[in-house]
Amino acid sequence: MANENTLLPILIVPDPLLRKVCRPVTAEDMKRVKTLIPQMFATMYKAPGIGLAAPQVGALLRLVVMDLAPEKIPNPIVLINPEIIAQSDEKATREEGCLSLPDQYADVTRPAWVKVRYQDEDGHKHEIEGDGLLSACLQHEIDHLNGVLFVDYLSSLKRNMLLRKLAKEQKERKGR
C-alpha cells in the first residue's frame, strides 16, 4: 500500500499523457485524490519544484498542488477542478521551467494577473487571485490539465530547439 511519502514518477516530454485533457474530479474520485495529494507534494518538494499537476504523475484528473515558498515557510496550496475566471489584458513575461521538461527554461508571456476558482479537499469552493509568480504558476499548472505545455507559447524554432536539447539530455542520462 502506498503511503503519503511515496514519491511518484514524473512523466517527461514526449509522454503522450502530458497532452491529454484531464477530467474533472468527482466525489467518487476523492478517496484517490486524498491519497494523491500528499504523494504529489512529496514528489514536488523532492524534485524540487513549486507546482505539480496530476497529469505529470500519470493521473488524468483536474488536480494541482503548489507551494511558492518551499524553502521558507511552506504554504501548500491544493486546487481541485481549478478554472481561470478572470485575467488581465496586461501581459507579463517571466522565465518558466517544468518538472516534465527537466533543466529546460524559456521566457513565457501570459496575462499578468489571474483569478482562479477551485475546490479544496472537502469540496468547498474558493477563489485565489494573484500576479507575478503566483499568476504564472497558476496558469502553467492549469495549462497542464488541458494538455498544454509552456513550450507551446514559444516560437516553433525556440520550441524545437528546446525539445531537441531535452531529448539529447534524456538520451545521455539513460546512457549513464
**What is the arrangement of strands in the sheet containing 77-87, beginning at the earlier edge strand?**
51-53, 63-66, 77-87, 113-119, 125-131
Out of 127, 141, 169, 172, which one is annotated catalytic? 141
Grid coordinates given for 66: 503548489
Q: Is 141 a catalytic residue?
A: yes
Please name the amino acid found at residue 85: I
CB under 8 Å to 174, separation ≥6 — which residues? Answer: none
CA-based R_g, the chain, Å: 16
Find where cell 504523494 sits.
39
Alpha carbon of 135 to those of 26, 39, 71, 122: distances in Å? 26, 24, 19, 24
Sign of CA dihedral 16, 93, 103, 142: negative
Catalogue the active-site residues: 141
